[in-house]
């Protein structure tokens, strides 16, 4: 596991320790984060969902060359009104697969670059530019490979301008892209 940062916190999360970078810049590279699912979580309650990699209120973090799978969020950048933004980071060359309930890459920050990632099998969106945590502007999303997601790129209704590469499908605008299918008892 390679982590370099001002402060790295491991949060006891659903019977595992979830790496969470807070209050600093740094690199999260060449890790494997698999099988982190918080069973009681639902689509209406994302606050305690399990993330393969969580960057919380930290600027300038580079997340690259990681493999993340069977989680609820694959890679999440989350800003906080009290602790600060998750701005100016990069998410490049990662492989994200099988995110349950939520997104492959959750982006709740500004001036970030999401590039050259491979995202497979996201229950909600492959990449979510999420404006629910505050202003989200000036992000660059390009050259990602997206396979089997409810939406390729989902852009929150209050998100400001960001750049999307012309080779990707048109981003969908909205708070969510679909409903998770209900389980039927047979």
- What are the residue boundaries of the structural domains of the chain, listed by start? 2-37+49-157
Work out whether strand 26-29 and strand 2-5 pair parallel, antiparallel, or are unpaired: antiparallel
Distances (CA, A) of 70 to 34, 77, 100, 186: 6, 18, 7, 26
> CA distances (Å), 15 to each of 12, 24, 29, 77, in order?
7, 26, 23, 22
The pLDDT value recorded for residue 135 is 77
Distance from C-alpha of 14 to C-alpha of 50, rounded to nearest angstrom? 8
What pLDDT, on the 0 to 100 scale, is given for residue 160?
64
pLDDT at position 123: 87
In the chain, which stretches have pLDDT less than 70? Answer: 1-24, 41-48, 157-161, 163-186
């Amino acid at each position: 596991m390679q982590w370099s940062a001002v402060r790295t916190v491991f949060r006891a999360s659903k019977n595992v320790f979830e790496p969470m970078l807070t209050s600093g810049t740094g690199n999260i590279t060449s890790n494997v984060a698999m099988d982190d699912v918080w069973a009681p979580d639902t689509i209406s309650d994302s606050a305690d969902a399990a993330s393969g990699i969580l960057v919380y209120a930290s600027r300038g973090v580079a997340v690259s060359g990681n493999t993340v799978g069977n989680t609820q969020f694959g890679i999440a950048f989350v800003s906080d009104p009290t602790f600060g933004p998750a701005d100016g980071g990069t998410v490049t060359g990662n492989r994200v697969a099988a995110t349950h309930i939520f997104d492959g890459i959750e982006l709740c920050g500004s001036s970030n670059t999401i590039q050259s990632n491979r995202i497979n099998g996201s229950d909600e969106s492959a990449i979510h530019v999420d404006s629910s945590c505050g202003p989200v502007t000036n992000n660059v999303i390009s050259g990602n490979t997206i396979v089997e997601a409810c939406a390729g790129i989902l852009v929150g209704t209050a998100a400001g301008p960001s750049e999307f590469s012309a080779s990707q499908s048109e981003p969908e605008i909205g708070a969510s892209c679909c409903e998770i299918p209900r389980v039927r008892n047979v």
